[in-house]
Amino acid sequence: MDIAEFQAYGYFASTLFLVVVLYAYIYHLYSKKKNADGIDYEQYSNMALHDDIDDTPVASIRDDKKK
Amino acid sequence: MENRPLEYDYTVTKMFMFTTILLGIVGMLIGVILAFQLAFPGVNLFLGEGLAEYTNFSRLRPLHTDAVIFGFTLSGIFATWYYVGQRVLKVSMAESKLLMFLGKLHFWLYLVTVAAVVVSLFAGVTTSKEYAEFEWPIDIAIVVVWVLFGLGIFGLIGIRREKSLYISVWYYIATFLGIAMLYLFNNMEIPTMLASAPDGSHVGGNWYHSISMYAGTNDALVQWWYGHNAVAFGFTVPIVAMIYYFLPKESGQAIYSYKLSLLSFWGLMFLYLWAGGHHLLYSTVPDWVQTMGSIFSVILILPSWGSAINMLLTMKGEWQQVAASPLIKFMILASTFYMFSTLEGPIQAIKSVNAIAHFTDWIVGHVHDGVLGWVGFMIMAALFHMAPRVFKREIYSKSLMTTQFWIQTLGVVLYFTSMWIAGITQGMMWRAHDEFGNLAYSFIDTVTVLHPYYTIRGVGGLLYLVGFLMFAYNIYKTMSARPVEESELQSASPMGA
Ligand code: HEM
Ligand code: HEM
């Protein structure tokens, strides 16, 4: 196998790998809210709007400690 | 003291807002001088023959780039971090004496370092690496400043009330880590006082002088891996952090798609680091590095536009705000220019296009539609949004702000259109040849042709500077404008007529 052929296989394999990673991540983003303690990522989208120091956090550190 | 309700503490933010404005004025003033020097070489001597050493183009150019990058932009990043960080983590700097102390130390040490940079560059002390001109003692100071910034970030995260890190925080963390890595690797250097000549004798030289640990092609590779990612982690990532906070906040709209923001974040992180090769097309670096640089650059459109479109869609159904609020205008124009320069960049990264574009003014045009339209507009918008909140007063004048917006927009347009024409003309003239392969033009022919465009660029830059001075004045007057109630600060910023 000369270098060009090697590069071609490498190129194909890495492209395939990256495509799989990309779609797996997108799948993860959408599917996470479905399982039991899943998170709907969209609940974070208005964090900037509720950022006063006494606004309720989306997920409080203190709640976490209580558990 | 116990009964006083807890409030966010903006002391450090205020300090960095001050340097953002001060160094912005200095950097852009020098930029305007440079622009007129290129159009009218006599300007090189504007303080007379005697001081020519300090006023010529080559001495001032690194002062411009470093003042606007490490002065204006970096101060803006720090100012917004100490503001946004507290708010989205729901924790006040006042709650930790240590963090407050580190924050102030961060500022003062930064100021000392800036002063050292200004003096050394004026004196002509430089390592000659673009955007990394500082000699080793200053590099060490910069590392300390950066570590203090990191302690501030992770310290605040450590004592936060809000468990989830908002998308902006991710971008700030990436800025910190990205620059830390790049800066360290690119500035590996050996003070010449420690070096010895091949025959074993001592080299000596000035104590502050150093040489890079890399040479030749390796040096070029590391330099542009750094240079390109300085753009990524200085002009893109932290500015995206800003827009993800300030646009939703000012408009009162939730981010259109949080998932898209995450996807774009990881996409950007992954792709940017491989694209630096596009600065070295047709140079001595291996061919595959060049091809890889081109390919990654083209794919880079996707996460870049992912963020920008997300921001535009955040305004969905609320477009009347763009007409009504000059602050929203600044941010919408910023994200539009972001889309614009991240389309232009990939086009320039295609090898055949780069063959014309490289070394020409088209690159300078690309740089400035990004930095003036995107970075500059976003940082000014952030300061406009923060000013009423840190001073508890309304913005002094809305009409001044609107006027500034239009003057600067015109300035940016004049800047990049003139550079496009100049750049492509230059590129075409350099390569033109007759049937025997003799070059059709000599260098001076291009200079003559480009003169009007250089003048237009100078005028465009001057307009931008005038707008920036209006901005500085507006913020200054805000400090003594009408006081406002907390309730007026929920979303849209209060503005005086
Ligand atoms: C998708 C994103 C981008 C790509 C692929 C890209 C690509 C390029 C290319 C191909 C060059 C010219 C290299 C040469 O021939 O010398 C360049 C130069 C440059 N770009 Fe971009 N660009 C992008 C976004 C941006 C943005 C958003 C900014 C600033 C806000 C920016 C700032 C610069 C700077 C400062 C240089 C000049 C570096 C120098 O030669 O000193 N770029 N970019
Ligand atoms: C008042 C507005 C400004 C004017 C008139 C101006 C003018 C200039 C000029 C004349 C050059 C040298 C170009 C050459 O060597 O041919 C330059 C380079 C540069 N400026 Fe500006 N500038 C301005 C604002 C800014 C701002 C706000 C930033 C960044 C935040 C910036 C970043 C840069 C960079 C990175 C370069 C180096 C470009 C390269 O090497 O390709 N400039 N500017």
pLDDT at position B410, please?
98
Question: Residue B368 Cα, ligand 2 centroid: separation in angstroms?
Answer: 6
**Measured between CB atoms, which of B90, B163, B248 is closest to A49?**
B248
Residues of chain B above pLDDT 90, percent:
91
> What is the 3-state composition of chain B as percent helix, strand, coil, each rounded to the nearest 5?
75, 5, 20
Tell whether domain B11-193+206-480 is in CATH 1.20.120.160: no
Beta bridge partners of B189: B212
Q: What is the pLDDT of residues B334-343, one digit of tens each?
A: 999 999 999 9
Mutate to test the pocket of ligand 1, among B68, B299, B366 (most ligand atoms within 8 A of CB): B366
Beta bridge partners of B162: A60
pLDDT at position B201, please?
78
Report whether pLDDT(B293) > 80: yes
Token pair of B186 as six digits: 């690119």
CA distance B125 to B446: 32
CA distance B236 to B334: 11
Overall average pLDDT of the B365-390 stretch: 97
pLDDT at position B116, please?
97
Instruction: Tell me, using a 6 A CB cutoff, whether residue B300 lines ligand 1.
Output: yes
pLDDT at position B1, please?
46
Of B230, B234, B213, the closest CA to residue B132 belongs to B230
CB neighbour class for B353 (10 Å; exposed up to 12, middle 13-18, buried from 19): middle
pLDDT at position B202, please?
76
pLDDT at position B373, please?
97
Q: What is the pLDDT of residues B413-465, one digit of tens each?
A: 999 999 999 999 999 999 999 999 999 999 999 999 999 999 999 999 999 99
B259:A41 CB<8 A? yes
- Interface check for A64 against chain B (CB to CB < 8 A): the answer is yes
Look up the pTM and report it: 0.95
User: Is B214 in contact with B207 (CB distance < 8 Å)?
Assistant: no
Domain ranges in chain B are 11-193+206-480
Chain B residues closer than 8 Å to A66 by CB: none
Q: What is the pLDDT of residues B214-267, one digit of tens each?
A: 999 999 999 999 999 999 999 999 999 999 999 999 999 999 999 999 999 999
Overall average pLDDT of the B132-157 stretch: 96
Give me the residues of A, 16-55, that contact B with CB < 8 A.
25-26, 29-30, 41-49, 51-55
Token pair of A16 as six digits: 């395939």
pLDDT at position A67, please?
46
CA distance B122 to B134: 12
pLDDT along chain A (67 residues), means of 10: 89 94 92 71 90 87 59
Q: What is the pLDDT of residues B52-101, one digit of tens each?
A: 999 999 999 999 999 999 999 999 999 999 999 999 999 999 999 999 99
Average pLDDT of chain B is 95
**Crossing angle between the packed helical segments B97-122 and B57-66, to the nearest 10 degrees:** 170
- Which residue would you say has higher pLDDT here, B131 or A39? B131
Of B198, B188, B156, the closest CA to residue B173 belongs to B156
Farthest-apart Cα atoms in chain A, separation: 65
CA distance B217 to B232: 22
A59:B88 CB<8 A? no
